[in-house]
Amino acid sequence: MTVRQIVLRHGIQFNANIGSFSAIYAEEDSASGSPEVLVNIAADGEREYVLHPGDTFTVRDQTWKLASVNNPGLHDWTVVLERVD
């Protein structure tokens, strides 16, 4: 089964066949006022990405984007990643 969407919460790792996904923080960017997320991906090595809604990144041969951030800066924040290819 191919994963097309991943929902991340603070401190909870999501394991998929292409790698492991986790979000370190989700807060408002003081400069732009838009949500900012630090995502850690472990697949063929480990990478960290600082993302804003709509930003894309590559995991192996797949392109993913930060689709949404809910409740940034609060304890119960969530991050939604979606595969775009």
Q: Where are the domains of the chain?
A: 5-83
User: Which segments of the chain are extended strands (E)?
Assistant: 5-9, 14-16, 19-28, 35-42, 46-51, 56-59, 62-70, 78-83
Residue 55: which of 78, 38, 74, 31 has the closest Cα?
Answer: 38
29 has a pLDDT exceeding 90: no
Mean per-residue pLDDT for 8-23? 95
Band the pLDDT of 57: cuts 50, 70, 90.
Answer: very high
Residue 51 buriedness (CB in 10 A; 0-12 / 13-18 / 19+): buried
Amino acid 1: pLDDT: 62
Amino acid 59: pLDDT: 96
Contact 21, 74 (CB under 8 A): no
Amino acid 30: pLDDT: 84
